Amino acid sequence: MFLYESFVTLILAVALVGSQPILQSNEGQGPLPTFGELLKRHNIQLTQPALVDALRNTDPEVRDLAANKLAEDKAVETIPAIKDALASEKVPWTRMNIALALAEMGESIGFDTLEDNCKNKDTSGNVRLCSAEYLLRFNRDSTTCLGGVLDLLKGGSNGDRMAAAELSPRYHNLSQEDSEKVFTGLAEALHAPDPSVRMAAGRALADLRDTRGIAELGRAIGSEQDQFVRSRLEEDLGILRNKIR
């Protein structure tokens, strides 16, 4: 059985097709290629006019990479062109990543688009979760995105539930009601049919640092039939106990 952290990383990585905002290293293979390096593979020059022109390229990956390269270069004069690209983009992954580029440049439309993704139940769980993760990087504890994360923690695919569990403890400054929803969602996920979801929930409860997690993890350990999962939950219980001492 693979470790759930690797799968959660993969779930969050697919959004940028090899670009660096999600991952900083490639599973021990060295740093991932930069935006510029990836654009060169598509025979895109890195001059500002070429990058602006690439925002209209037929390849959605090129459009995504061009927007993020312009943001990386802090080319604020190209913001109107990037906004136009966002407005016309139809590919959900690319639209999300163009929104990220605008958020990096401090543009409210970028943040708003990412938040809209979180609550859009018609889009994929990966896009909703990646959008939530992007906003967390800006220390934006969006209750809208938290709602999307909790929806997927409860009723998403196994991969979505794993990634949602990983994201849940990263929300801070929550109301008592929202804090309770996070704890309850993770406690329920401890008893999910899929073992990797149970492991993800166990580690998230350890990261949450809620003393009630001790009892929840104890009950889950007592009923767990998979020895590997049980050992992981026991490890999480030890981590939680050390964190709240």
Q: What is the pLDDT of residue 20?
A: 40
Predicted TM-score (pTM) of this structure: 0.86
Q: What is the pLDDT of residue 192?
A: 97
Tens digits of residue pLDDT in 111-170: 999 999 999 999 999 999 999 999 999 999 889 999 999 999 999 999 999 999 999 999
Indicate the average pLDDT of the chain.
90
**Lowest mean per-residue pLDDT among 20-24, 43-47, 221-225:** 20-24
Q: What is the pLDDT of residue 142?
A: 87
Is residue 27 within 8 Å of residue 15, measured between CB atoms? no
Identify the structural domains of the chain with CATH numbers, from first to last: 17-140 (1.25.40), 143-245 (1.25.10.10)
Tell me the mean pLDDT in the region 54-66: 97
Q: Residue 82: is its pLDDT beyond 70? A: yes
Tens digits of residue pLDDT in 175-226: 999 999 999 999 999 999 999 999 999 999 999 999 999 999 999 999 999 9
- How many Cβ atoms are within 10 Å of 173's Cβ, its own excluded? 9
177 SS3 class:
helix
Q: What is the pLDDT of residue 213?
A: 96
Tell me the mean pLDDT in the region 84-95: 97
Residue 220 CA to chain centroid, in angstroms? Answer: 26
Is residue 23 within 8 Å of residue 32, measured between CB atoms? yes
Output the CA angle 236-242-245, nearest 5 degrees. Answer: 140
